[in-house]
Structure 1
Amino acid sequence: MTSRAGPRATGSDGSDFKHREKVASHYQMSASLKSEIKKLTVVHLLLWALIAAQVTVAHLKLLSHDVVAMPYQWEYPYLLSLLPSLLGAMAMPKNNISYLVISMISAGLFSVAPLIFGAMEMFPVAQQLYRHGKAYRFIFGFSAVSVMYLLMVVAIQVHAWQIYYSKKLLDAWFNSTQEKKKK
């Protein structure tokens, strides 16, 4: 306890706090990576909602097929890409390494693989549009292949960054657990 009238500490100008109040770098890294992954997950959910809306509208025939084209085959497995995002979100609060690993693997299977398949599936249609200027499928007056390729470009970047940040986060969590085991 200190008192107003008692002796004062000498030799400290207040600059000796830095070694006591420093947060470990892997905690800082974990917090920033979690934030980035959450932002990318929101963007992914928006992309997923667009594809889910197109599939729903086309199958329920809410709009004419001239307005919203029937979905391509790759869109159906891509709808499963919601699962990796949910697993990743479940891994964040308690730093669950196993959920994050499963999320990364399933992101490759359910997110990236359908996009690659879709690029190959739509390539002949895109080539025909480019060479002859003819499109047979439309989404609100725009060529369906052009709209879907644009969506795919954004989606592949989102998923690539999600996997990259998840790997960095996994490394930060793993280093953290290894340091705890050493003590």
Structure 2
Amino acid sequence: MTSRAGARPTATKTEGNDYKPKERGGPTPYQMSMSCRSEIKKLTLVQLLIWLLVAAQVTVTHLELVSHDLVAAPYQWQYPYLLSIVPSLLGAMAMPRHNISYLVISMISAGLFSVAPLLFGAMEMFPVAQQLYRHGKAYRFIFGYSAVSVMYLLMLVALQVHAWHLYYSKRLLDAWFDSTQDKKKK
């Protein structure tokens, strides 16, 4: 068929260079929410594992299930750190119903019950670590390893996990706020 302008051009083969997708501003709030929720669930499991290790040390030493030569007595920072399970539980309770208030309380309590005891513990154990570094003497052991070395390693991992948990919680909170703002606009 011909048109008034003449014959139509024949189709040519292209390699896809003429296709231009729509530009997007980034992931939707739903995609962001699902991504952050997945990461938070993984981090919560790691937090639970760290909490169980600290709780096991405290329980084993207080019930005297093993000798103090095998597992050293806990440091003072470990007792308030046992409350770090509270922010994890509040965060888990916030997920199913997108409860913003639980998530905010979880983030605030994570700073108080998780990060603050870790920072206090780093200061509490610093003289012992300094003595170990300078003189090579350790007086507390956990399964044959220096207790201060094991605790600093645990604290390093825990601090990273809590920091990532706070980061993803903040991103999730932003996604939830964006989705509620989108609903209000409609």
TM-score by length of 2: 0.85
- Which residue is equivalent to 2:38? 35
- Which residue is equivalent to 1:120? 123
Q: Percent identity, please.
A: 80
- Describe the superposition over 1:70-92 as per-residue Cα deviations: whole angstroms up to 9, x where unpaired: 00000000000000000000000
Give the AA of the match of 2:171: K
Shift of 1:143: 0.3
Count the aligned residue pairs.
162
Answer yes or no: is 1:84 the counterpart of 2:93. no
Answer yes or no: is 1:51 the counterpart of 2:54. yes
Shift of 1:179: 1.1
- Which residue is equivalent to 1:65? 68
Secondary structure of 2:68's aligned partner: coil
- Describe the superposition over 1:155-180 as per-residue Cα deviations: whole angstroms up to 9, x where unpaired: 00000000000000000000111111
Root-mean-square deviation (Å): 1.2
Shift of 1:119: 0.1
Shift of 1:182: 1.6
Answer yes or no: is 1:162 the counterpart of 2:142. no
- 2:185 and 2:31 map into 1 onto residues whose CA distance is 20
TM-score by length of 1: 0.87
Secondary structure of 1:63's aligned partner: coil
- 1:35 and 1:181 map into 2 onto residues whose CA distance is 26
Answer yes or no: is 1:98 the counterpart of 2:119. no
- Which residue is equivalent to 2:135? 132
Give the AA of the match of 1:90: M
- 1:67 and 1:61 map into 2 onto residues whose CA distance is 11
- Which residue is equivalent to 2:154? 151
Secondary structure of 2:122's aligned partner: helix
- Describe the superposition over 1:7-44 as per-residue Cα deviations: whole angstroms up to 9, x where unpaired: xxxxxxxxxxx99xxxx711011001000000000000
Secondary structure of 2:180's aligned partner: helix
The runs of at least 4 consecutive aligned structure 1 residues that moved more than 6 Å come to none
* Long gaps (5+) in structure 2: 1-20
- 1:64 and 1:105 map into 2 onto residues whose CA distance is 38
Quick check: which has more Rg, 1 or 2? 2
- Which residue is equivalent to 1:11? none
* Long gaps (5+) in structure 1: 1-17
